[in-house]
Amino acid sequence: MTGSGPLIELRDIGLEVTSPVRTRILHPVTLEIRRGTVVAVIGPSGAGKTTLASIIGALQPPSEGSYRFDGREVLDRTRNQLARFRADHLGFVFQSSHLIEERSALDNVALGIVDPAVTRADGLARGLAALAHVGLDQIAGRRAADLSGGERHRVAIARALVKEPSLVIADEPTAALDQATGREILDLLGSVVDRGATVLIVSHDQRATDRADQVIRIVDGRFFGEGTTENTAEQR
Ligand SMILES: Nc1ncnc2c1ncn2[C@@H]1O[C@H](COP(=O)(O)OP(=O)(O)OP(=O)(O)O)[C@@H](O)[C@H]1O
Ligand SMILES: [Mg+2]
């Protein structure tokens, strides 16, 4: 990642679905995300937070607008190119951790490396380093099934970090965690920028804004917050 402009530039990105009925999910928004920053996407349930994250994560196309990542348009790419883009540049941390229960914490993290040129030994070494970053190197050999909820979140974060993505997208990373553990996970995600990454934290938890450099608020698919502009002409 060598560019000097914003990491992410959304121009008039919006989403309207037509089935079963025509519904506007996201009103067109223009926003930029700078490199090496923590961005919190905040809003009530059903606001459109996950939808925005899945557009930025190239998991779902918007119905309009342009999306540049590191200066290059994303939306004109083929499915294979998008899969490659996600594998090369993005790390995802989802609400449910999706770990392979019978495999060790370390194996689960090493599985985050998708580059076939990385040997298994190298993958395990990098996995162990990522586990150390989240404070879990001592239990690298423990089966995922035996981990606590907080530990599972940490393993999921380590798995997202192990390929050194330029963007980490975490959707509700504090869900189902107690206050203290939720705080630890947010701090941990905030520290990811020290490794040069940009972090997008999606949450209805106001605490996610504490360490954020930029806060994007969404209510009913409408945007509020620093650096966001709604295209009012498009609003209905
Ligand atoms: N493909 C789709 N077709 C129809 N409706 C959709 C589609 N995708 C999302 N929605 C609707 O858009 C709204 C926003 O959904 P989204 O998952 O982005 O909300 P959210 O802010 O992440 O909520 P939560 O905090 O509950 O996770 C919801 O009402 C959802 O049902
Ligand atoms: Mg959501």
**Per-residue pLDDT band at 176 (split at 50, 70, 90):** confident
Nearest to 7 by CA among 142, 220, 175, 168: 168
pTM for this entry: 0.91
Q: Is 50's C-beta closer than 6 angstroms to any atom of ligand 1? A: yes
Domain 8-234 bears CATH identifier 3.40.50.10420: no
Asked if the model's pLDDT at residue 156 lies above 90, the reply is yes
Question: What does the domain layout of the chain look like in residue ranges?
Answer: 8-234
Q: In this structure, which residue's CA is closest to atom 12 in ligand 1?
A: 25
Q: Is 25's C-beta closer than 6 angstroms to any atom of ligand 1? A: yes
Residue 221 alpha carbon to ligand 1 centre in Å: 9
Asked if the model's pLDDT at residue 91 lies above 90, the reply is yes
Residue 91 alpha carbon to ligand 1 centre in Å: 21
Q: Is 200's C-beta closer than 6 angstroms to any atom of ligand 1? A: no
**Per-residue pLDDT band at 2 (split at 50, 70, 90):** low
For the chain, what percent of residues have pLDDT higher than 90? 70
